[in-house]
Amino acid sequence: MDAPTLTTLAIAAVVVALVAVALAVGAQLRLAGVRRDFAALGGDGRTDIARVAAAQNHRIDRLTAELSRLREDVASAEEDVRQSLRNVAVVRYDAFGDMGGRLSFSAAIVDDLGDGIVLSSIHARGESRTYAKGIVGGRSSITLTPEEQQALASATKDEPGRLPGRAKDAS
């Protein structure tokens, strides 16, 4: 073989070697990326991707079950809050014309469904009397005084800016 042919072959061999090195470096970088992604999935390098995927599916199933349980807990807590006696209103008044100071009062304490109690205290010069009347669905089986009706109406209606559970003076 003559020298120009050998030079051409040597140059071709160097080009092929450089291309092979470039491909090897590219493959090594891609392999490092795959290993990094595999580690992010929870793989430890000793298990295959199918086992890692199965473990991830099992973890997702557990989280789904936990989410369902938490939703049930929240729904139960919401129901408990609706049934709590948190809507309160107080009406103060003078029960008798000869007394001042609005020492008598009626207080309605009900839940979101209008179930609860109305308490009234009538203050006179020589005595005070206290009455309790049950409320179911916003109504009482015992006749309510106008002041008790006012307290109950105030406790059961939604007023703008009123926070549930906060007592309000409806007088």
With the CA atoms of 77, 81, 84 and 90 taken in that order, what torsion angle do they form, in degrees rounded to the nearest 10?
160
Count the Cβ atoms, other than its own, within 10 Å of residue 169.
12
Rounded CA-CA distance 79/25 in Å is 63
Tens digits of residue pLDDT in 15-37: 999 999 999 999 999 998 888 87
The low-confidence residues of the chain, meaning pLDDT below 50, are 159-166
pLDDT at 68: 96
pLDDT for 11 equals 92
What's the pTM?
Answer: 0.54
Residue 132 DSSP symbol:
E
Q: Are residues 140 and 118 in contact, defined by beta-carbon separation less than 8 angstroms?
A: yes
Q: Please, what's the b/e burial string for 109-128 (b: 16 or more CB within 10 A of its CB; e: otherwise)?
A: bbbbebebebbbebbeeeee
pLDDT digits (tens, 9 = 90+) for 54-80: 888 999 999 999 999 999 999 999 988
